[in-house]
Homo-oligomer: A and B are copies of this chain.
Amino acid sequence: MRRFIIDISTEGNGEIVNLSPQIAEQLRTERGEGLVHIFVNGSTAAVTTLEFEPGLVKHDLPNLLQRLIPDDMPYQHEATWNDDNGHSHLRSTVLGTGICIPFGSGKLLTGEWQQVALIDFDTRPRRRKVICTVVV
């Protein structure tokens, strides 16, 4: 087992960052087979997989999340803490903050159009620590 951290500054507000290039670079020298676990520590962000193309990233996924978990509904979290990120918490809980991806011969075994992405739902710029754990 070994661990590496991906340090990312985001603008928040649903910014989606493609993590696959940095993960792939770290796995390039791994021999054999294994799993890499990718986790964002925080309760207003998510890690998932998607095809990282502008139609989905800039339009379809943000529209879906706004339709299902709007940022402009009244949330008790916001009333309690005088905050504005109730939707950020809920989106994080629904999408999840971590995933495992298999690799082999130094390559992520994701599909041709499948990338690992961090989504930062918080309502302000954040510095995020993505904790990656390689299990062989």
Contact = CB atoms under 8 A, between A and B. Distances in A.
Given A37-B35, A37-B100, A102-B37, A60 B43 contact: no
Nearest to A54: B80
Copies in the complex: 3
Given A56-B86, A61-B93, A39 B77 contact: no
Interface residues of A, number: 56
Interface of A: 1, 3, 33-35, 37, 39, 41-43, 48-51, 53-56, 58-61, 64, 68-69, 75-81, 86, 89-90, 92-102, 104, 109-111, 113-114, 131, 133, 135-136
27 contacts: A1-B35, A1-B136, A3-B33, A33-B133, A35-B133, A37-B102, A41-B110, A43-B111, A48-B96, A49-B97, A51-B89, A53-B77, A54-B80, A55-B78, A55-B79, A56-B76, A59-B75, A59-B77, A60-B75, A60-B77, A61-B93, A64-B90, A94-B94, A94-B95, A96-B96, A102-B131, A109-B131
